[in-house]
Structure 1
């Protein structure tokens, strides 16, 4: 199968300088593309000078993660797309485990590697760790990361496993499946669009996997740091949108409960003195309410299947029971 590595870039020359060499060095079997979201720094000049063999796909404006990839991937025809953040360092043989897993079943639509922190290589990375899940209320968590608690990688998750969502920092997806579901929902702009995409794939009957036979290192926050209220806004709004659009069960009671829990999260920001994040959650809900007609229309158009949520409430397990490790969660299937 032919493989395309597609790296989305927006004013990220300093990240390309640091990480792109590892991709070129360790990805001999793939064609590499840079999807540029109308950068205004000298990213493109740097690429032309240092990596003339890389194909540059130029978007006319900053379309965000979702729109940026959707536009660029119209022009990429390889069988497998590997979507890679520009702040990821890859390792020798990183593609082998990913491609091997695809070959085991045509029903596998997407695969992510084990993602570790480049700042502390002994630990998993916040964005994806060893595979993503969501609880019954739509809150995401990972093998190796629950909210802000990140585990050390001691080989405890060195198994290939079916997951709920693959991290947008680094995941591979079949071209045909990406196009079948019409790519990312561009209304998300950025953050949690990969969860929505994976949820729609699962509703189509496809599976998402994580392989421990592939390992990469992620800097995180290269484009939008976790300290930015805009990131809080996008995460909360887009999480609610995915619930409304993709959940098989009646979403109204869950969304009403989320209003309460998100309100508690906002109060927590006040107690921590992070007032801009408090207002970001408030604005996220206002924006979501404006999205309701659009998401309701999309909900009616989508196939829904029975969905297994491994945890009823990650909020309860984390903040009340004080569970910090994925392996210790009170998991259930429903």
Structure 2
């Protein structure tokens, strides 16, 4: 059971939610079933203005969980920052609602952090529902990966570009962790500052890792900690989500790289190339391959969004994988 005393706890588990009630309840259930009684922890749910009854469901099923209800969708960064200010744990475990913890995962991350005081962030191995590996960490953006092929770099230069296709028997240092499930040292994030709220969704963990590394902290991947992740269910995969990704990436590049305009130009060129390749695929298959045709129109909409100057996407416009509202997303872009 989560502990809510005034004494410092080991871990504060922070879950940001937006209209994913069933996933949220399942996620909380996995917390209680996977963490041993030796670890003192609390659960904080930050609800970003959901209208599906998420907050009420948590309060009813798990009255010991602290629920913070925002009136509107503030985004991932701002929601977590609210929890950071009131957390009682030495560490903060950020957990997406579409994640399921396995037994010992949190303890493995916690033990590693305790044994390595230089570690500011750790993450475990994210798994698909079928048990196959997901990308659990990433490199900071570089010109090399944008002008070549990132997948190829992971093959020919695995020490610089580690990937899920390699087997790791012990923790390794990485640039950044995928934010679905990460453990943050409170001391470290208080030193460099919380999440930058200029990021609504995507790249906020990359930005934090970049600032932590610049301040001398390290980021690690701990492979023995396993977490199932139903990738995309908590954020969606429609056109608006993709535009949010690009928007956040450009925010990161402008903030940290002097030649950010060169990066942006290369990214846009790659987008055009991908559009043309998928156009060719659509023509070659006479439009019968729905996957190729869908990608073509998605790239086309993203190019249009770029031509418009990458306009701001407001929280209320953000979708969550609701196919019935994709027309609204397309018209907005």
TM range (shorter): 0.7 to 0.9
Q: Secondary structure at the match of 1:255?
A: helix
Q: Pick closer, same or farther for the CA change 1:61–1:181 going to 2, 3 Å.
A: farther
TM-score, normalised on structure 2?
0.74
Select 1:242's aligned residue among 252, 255, 263: 252
- 1:15 alignment partner in structure 2: 23
Q: 2:125 aligns with which of 110, 114, 126?
A: 114
Please, which of 272, 275, 279 is the counterpart of residue 263 of structure 1? 272
In the other structure, the counterpart of 2:110 is 99
Kept in 2: contact 1:133–1:141 (CA 8 A): no
CA 1:283–1:31: 2 relative to 1, 3 Å: same
User: Partners of 1:188 and 1:71 in 2: how far apart?
Assistant: 15
Kindly tell me: are residues 197 and 264 of structure 1, through their superposed partners in 2, closer, same or farther at Cα, counting changes over 3 Å? Answer: farther
1:289–1:181 CA distance, 2 compared to 1 (3 A)? farther
In the aligned structure 1, how far is the partner of 2:209 from the partner of 2:69? 26
Name which of 217, 229, 232 aligns with 1:218. 229
Stretches of structure 2 lacking an aligned partner (at least 5 in a row): 1-8, 156-162, 281-291, 314-333
- Is residue 132 of structure 1 aligned with residue 132 of structure 2? no
Contact kept? 1:3, 1:80, Cα under 8 Å: yes
Shift of 1:270: 4.3
Question: Aligned residue for 2:328?
Answer: none
Q: Return the alpha-carbon distance in structure 2 between the equivalents of residues 141 and 194 of structure 1.
A: 20
What displacement does 1:60 show?
A: 2.6
- TM-score (norm: length of structure 1): 0.74
SS of the counterpart of 1:185? Answer: coil
Per-residue CA deviations over 1:309-333 (Å, capped at 9, x if unaligned) read: xxxxxxxxxxxxxxxxxxxxxxxxx
Residues 263-283 of structure 1, C-alpha deviations (whole Å, 9 max, x = no match): 323434545323134222442
Residue 26 of structure 2 corresponds to residue 6 of structure 1 = no
C-alpha separation in 2, matches of 1:99 and 1:82: 9
Shift of the 259–115 alpha-carbon distance from structure 1 to 2, 3 Å rule, reads same
Aligned to 1:159: 170
Partner deviation per Cα, 1:203-234 (whole Å, 9 max, x = no partner): 222111110121110012223222x0012112
Query: How big is the shift at 1:154?
Result: 8.4
Aligned partner of residue 21 in structure 1, secondary structure: helix
Would the alpha carbon gap of residues 166 and 257 (structure 1) be closer, same or farther in structure 2, given more than 3 Å must change?
same
Q: Take 1:159 and 1:207, find their aligned partners in 2: how far apart are those partners?
A: 16
SS, match of residue 112 in structure 1: strand
Tell me the equivalent position of 2:316.
none
Give me the whole-angstrom Cα distance separating, in 2, the residues matched to 1:241 and 1:268.
Answer: 27
Separation in structure 1 between the aligned mates of residue 220 and residue 88 of structure 2, nearest angstrom: 23
Verify: 1:273 aligned to 2:283, yes or no. Answer: no
SS across alignment from 2:19: coil
Q: How many residues align?
A: 278
| C-alpha contact 2:55 2:69 (8 A) present in aligned 1 | no
- For the Cα contact (< 8 Å) 2:200–2:248, is it kept in 1? no
Of the structure 1 ranges 98-107 and 261-270, higher mean CA displacement relative to structure 2 is found in: 261-270
Report runs of 4+ in structure 1 exceeding 4 Å deviation: 138-142, 152-155, 268-271, 284-291
Corresponding residue number in structure 1 for 2:62? 51
Aligned-pair distance for 1:8? 0.7
